[in-house]
Structure 1
């Protein structure tokens, strides 16, 4: 059970890292475009939700 939980937690961390990179890429592309304000809002809210999830798994 511990191994399964660790594997699942590892996949969640990888997903959060991939989502974080996707948000950064969208934010940088959004800066070039005219919709910079919208990209800033979408980039700040998922990061706030992702950081507590990243801090929980390491025990």
Structure 2
């Protein structure tokens, strides 16, 4: 993805992107690691939420 503020590239499948992000979030909540294709702005949001004590649900 070339623009880190775009959630989807033109032509991307939104349902597939949602599945990918759901799996990435599950991995993050279980292991604390964030992998691609999670955008940096999203990963930082997840980390801030953990530091603030916000639950994953």
TM-score range for the pair, normalised by the shorter chain length: 0.3 to 0.5
Greater relative contact order structure (CA < 8 Å, 6+ sep): 1
TM value normalised by structure 1: 0.38
Please state which structure has a larger fraction of its residues in helix: 1
TM value normalised by structure 2: 0.39
